[in-house]
Chains A and B, each alone.
Chain A
Amino acid sequence: DTGVSQDPRHKITKRGQNVTFRCDPISEHNRLYWYRQTLGQGPEFLTYFQNEAQLEKSRLLSDRFSAERPKGSFSTLEIQRTEQGDSAMYLCASSRQGTDIYNEQFFGPGTRLTVL
């Protein structure tokens, strides 16, 4: 178990460009989450997958954002036509649906996006 990994760790792009981030969850985890974290704030929920199905999207996820999780394994988050307001840390987490009554999520190191 190597934990949740994210790639790249840092991304600098110019306004208007498209960017794509990748998340590899813990292998036996069937749930995957994307959050966004800006400086001095807690994470904000973006979207959630159970296996390959995207079950919920936050209103924060505008039409420029899209996420996929083909085959229920890794996930990608794409931002089209980036804006300076998209600059943030993008966090991925995974968890295992089971009989536990709580929802312990394991986080990756994040991808820091800077839009110039």
Chain B
Amino acid sequence: GDSVTQMEGPVTLSEEAFLTINCTYTATGYPSLFWYVQYPGEGLQLLLKATKADDKGSNKGFEATYRKETTSFHLEKGSVQVSDSAVYFCALSGPSDSNYQLIWGAGTKLIIKP
């Protein structure tokens, strides 16, 4: 079945460092791909998305490119801030509107030190 694999955390970086969180997936067809973020004590929030190969999703300085050839959707940010500390989840959804559920990675905890 479909699955998502994320790099294990926690990832600890200093402020202004470059961030990469790896995400690879296994799916039939061409799923939509998402990054969600969960700040401490809050619910899951959609960070960015991409719906087809070579699409780049971006939001709040974060970017991820849908790579069909490597089945990857790695999250990147050029300069992280303390406020980016959170748990980041990669997820996929089926290629058609009839596929209703999101398949999730285990999450990667990001800790940014001042």
Contacts and interface: CB of A to CB of B under 8 A. Distances in A.
Interface in B45-92: 45-46, 49, 51, 89, 91
B100 A91 contact: no
How many chain B residues sit at the interface, stated as a range, is: 20 to 34
A110 B45 CA distance: 12
Interface string B86-112: 000101011111011111111100000
Nearest to A101: B51
Given A91-B43, A109-B42, A110-B43, A42 B89 contact: yes
A42 B43 contact: no
B40 to A, nearest CB: 12
Interface residues of A, number: 27
Given A97-B97, A102-B93, A107-B45, A43 B106 contact: no
A48 B106 contact: no
A55 B99 CA distance: 11
A56 B100 CA distance: 9
Given A43-B44, A45-B101, A48-B100, A103 B32 contact: yes
Contacts of B32: 101-103
A40 interface: yes
A28 B23 CA distance: 32
Nearest to B95: A101
Interface in B1-33: 4, 32
Interface of A: 4, 31, 33, 40-45, 48, 50, 55-56, 91, 93, 97, 100-110
Closest 10 CB pairs of A and B: A42-B104, A102-B32, A107-B44, A45-B101, A109-B43, A103-B93, A107-B43, A102-B51, A48-B100, A42-B106
Interface of B: 4, 32, 34, 36, 42-46, 49, 51, 89, 91, 93-97, 99-107
Given A101-B95, A102-B51, A105-B102, 15 more contacts: A4-B43, A40-B106, A40-B107, A42-B105, A44-B104, A45-B101, A45-B103, A101-B97, A102-B49, A103-B97, A103-B99, A103-B100, A103-B102, A105-B46, A107-B36
